[in-house]
Structure 1
Amino acid sequence: MAPVRNSRVLFNSVPQGASHERTGYPVPGETLVTDHSQTIDLDNVSLDGGKVLAKVLAISVDPYLRGRMRAASKKSYSDAFKLGDPISNFAVVKVLRSDNPSYKPGQHLYGFADFAEYIVISEPSHWRVLPENSNVPWSVYVGVAGMPGKTAVYGWKEVAQAKKGETVYVSTAAGPVGSMVVQIAKAEGLKVIASAGQESKLDFLRQIGADVVFNYKTTDLATVLEEHGPIDIYWDHVGNKTLSTVLDHMNTFGRVVIIGAIASYNGQPDPIYNLATALWKRLTLRGFIVSDYEKKYADEFYATIPEKIAKGEFKYTETIVRSLDDAPQLVTDVQKGNNTGKAVIILADD
């Protein structure tokens, strides 16, 4: 067989605004570009040393990717993307050829892949073999059955320390992490306050059982929390002024689970002036990175969560594109909140 095209999405430039590394949204066609120049010989590409050749089926697009679009000199918990190289994230792939006896053609794997049509996996032991008959679409394994779902489940177990009858506020709650938290909290008997910025997202939150739903763009947060609080658990995806407001409405011994800070990913962060509230209310503020707890919870997660999703016990929504040409725009849409639910690139159904 002749070599075939292997399109990729490349990191072309650091988003520009002011001098701060997180100022400015990614610009499709400038920050990220889709390159169609590479080819790959699927029959003859070398797999020596236990490598695996795979076709990429589904790639996750997540808010945290913005933090990797920075100068390499800026340090963070995840590596910066390298200029001129493909960007990467969690993906589901199908094995085409293998030089590793643990991975066979036809198997589906979950792991970290370049935004590309085909990849050669040099360390397949870092990948997880997915079940073939779970009745869960492959795209969902990068959503509520993947890293976002793990973030919700692991963070809830490890940090939230929830008790029946407590009140939780979930910001940007219609996304894959937030919506899982809403459903977990309702199943455990908590009162759930949830916010989103579009009417369709609010409808979804009502469908999955949130007790209080509001549009954070048009409704005053402090007024909602004053009426429906105090808050025992704040699941924070936003940071900035939202965090400041919630701190004033936390219950004594409340827990703040800091998952993200989307309000400052593309601009300067706002100072938190009322942090002393954490002292006199004896609050716990805890940053959470899902990879810290993979070994502790992953086996239990895969043994239980996909089955619940297949049965409809956990509901989800997706925004899907089917071409790497559309990937740069989808990355920007996620930063601006213009997607619904999980953003995913599906390159093939199998």
Structure 2
Amino acid sequence: MPSTTVNGRHLLKNYPSGYPIPGTTTIYDTSERLDLDTVPLNGGVLAKLVVLSIDPYLRNTIKGNAPGSVQLGQPLTGFGIVKVIRSEVPAHSTGDYLSVNGLYHQEYSIFTKDQLSSAELLKADNRLPLSVHLGAAGPTGLTAFAGWKEFAKVKKGDTVFVSTAAGAVGSLVVQLAKLESLKVIGSAGSDEKVKFLKELGVDVAFNYKTTDLRDVLKKEGPIDLYWDNVGGDTLDAALENASTGARVIICGSISSYNHAATSAGVKNLLHLTSKEINLYGLSYFALAPKYDAEFKKTVIPKLADGTFKYLEDRKFGLDQAPQAMLDVQNGGNTGKSVIILSDD
């Protein structure tokens, strides 16, 4: 009788109306089994999930009324690193590590040759954990670098404000700003995260839950560049305290992901005209190809030698994915959220 292996999956059980609740919104399911030795590959590869990225944008993929939403009973999709365990694709050998976008949140997957066309072969680097290639040395870091290079247009003496500055993207943005000797204001949601910002050299680091945002920006501004990870009232406050000709880079809007109907709207858009503010929407997929090579050449070595710092929020086992989903939405994580499935 063939031997089968449990193929654990992170499935969507119910569409959320607010925060994704572990066990209610998404679940860890063990009902599927595979015979890893005989399952047909049809010219593709069988791969084992090694590290899974849990990102804020995943909340927007589980809205039932949104185009492309995950369907009930199906696994979520996102970024991850897999290890090839069987291959019928000449370009990929058993033991290869691949960084893949659009993979299912499940422990084993079969990928067609076409699906692997955009996968990246990862070369072992003992200076960095494999998981960092999903965070500061991967799509997260490239998001920060590409947005900065494309839109920041900084000049000497600029003041930069970064919201969610201790997060995976924000923490690299503030380090890119400090590399250019700029004044950086950073907000975070806990005293622990504020401490990390000070370690990164942030000039004005504050806990937005205990300190009035507008008081800080009025005192320390005007703001020449705002990197927005939050949206809503924080964006409003930044526009109020922006300088003439300021740049605003919209990277995320997590304040509206879970409570879209009740979240604070932006009321100060007239500042865009009166202050001649430039508003930029950052799309990772549009900019990544343009800056990927430069990112690998300039940023990854700085991560490896410790010039650039990063934090990881590690959970172990795919059964932790539902909780990790909630944590990245309500700020319960510290650093880049990753699920470690294997020590391989």
Q: TM-score with structure 1 length normalisation?
A: 0.94
Q: Which residues of 2 match residues 112-127 of structure 1 at below 5 A?
A: 112=101, 113-122=103-112, 123-127=115-119
Does 2:167 correspond to 1:168? no
State the match for 1:9 in structure 2. 10
CA distance in 1, matches of 2:198, 2:66: 41
Give the 4+ runs in structure 1 shifted more than 4 A. none
CA distance in 2, matches of 1:125, 1:302: 20
Asked if 1:338 is matched to 2:332, the reply is yes
Partners in 2 of 1:274 and 1:197 — Cα distance?
24
8 A contact 2:250–2:281 mirrored in 1: yes
In structure 2, the partner of 1:140 is 132
Gaps of 5+ in 2: none
Q: What's 2:60 paired with?
A: 67
Q: Which whole-Å deviations, capped at 9, do the CAs of 1:203-225 have from their partners, x for residues lacking one?
A: 11011110110010111111111
Flag structure 1 segments of 5+ consecutive residues without an equivalent: 17-23
RMSD over aligned CA atoms reads: 1.2
Give runs of aligned pairs for residues 226-237 of structure 1, distance below 5 A.
226-237=218-229
* Cα distance in 1 between the residues matched to 2:127 and 2:51: 16
Cα offset, 1:183, TM superposition: 0.5
1:349 matched residue in structure 2:
343
Query: Is residue 2:243 matched to residue 1:254?
Result: no
Rounded to whole Å, the distance in 2 between the matches of 1:285 and 1:300 is 24
Aligned AA for 2:325?
A: V
Q: Distance in 2 between matches of 1:100 and 1:262?
A: 39
Tell me the equivalent position of 1:19: none
How far did 1:134 drift? 5.1
> Following the alignment from structure 1 to structure 2, what is the Cα–Cα distance between the partners of residues 117 and 74?
26
Distance in 1 (CA, whole Å) between partners of 2:118 and 2:75 is: 19
Q: What is the aligned counterpart of 2:144 among 138, 141, 152? A: 152
The amino acid across from 2:109 in the alignment is: I
Identity rate, percent: 47
1:257 partner SS: strand
1:106 paired residue among 79, 95, 98: 95
C-alpha distance in structure 1 between counterparts of 2:117 and 2:48, whole Å? 17
Alpha-carbon separation, structure 2, partners of 1:55 and 1:213: 41
The AA in structure 2 aligned to 1:274 is: N
- CA deviations on 1:15-70 (whole Å, 9 max, x unpaired) are 03xxxxxxx11111111011001111211121223x11111111011111111110
> 1:134 touches 1:310 (CA, 8 Å); kept in 2?
no
Contact between 2:143 and 2:288, CA under 8 Å: does it hold in 1?
Answer: no
Secondary structure (helix, strand or coil) at the match of 1:64 reads helix
Structure 1 match to 2:289: 295
Matched, 1:81 2:70: yes
TM-score by length of 2: 0.95
1:274 has 2:275 as partner: no
**Structure 1 Cα separation of the partners of residues 168 and 209 of structure 2:** 20
Amino acid in the other structure paired with 1:194 = G
Contact 2:175–2:308, Cα closer than 8 Å, also in 1: yes
> Does the 8 Å contact 1:57/1:138 carry over to 2?
no
Letter in 1 for 2:88: D
Asked if structure 2 preserves the Cα contact closer than 8 Å seen for 1:13 and 1:83, the reply is yes
Could you list the per-position Cα deviations for residues 95-128 of structure 1 after superposition, in whole angstroms to 9, with x for gaps in the alignment? 1111111111111110122111111112211200
User: 2:45 touches 2:87 (CA, 8 Å); kept in 1?
Assistant: yes
How many pairs are equivalent? 338
Residue 53 of structure 1 corresponds to: 46
Structure-1 separation of matches of 2:275 and 2:315 = 45
Whole-Å Cα distance in 2 between the matches of residues 52 and 136 of structure 1? 26
Query: Aligned partner of 1:243: which letter?
Result: L
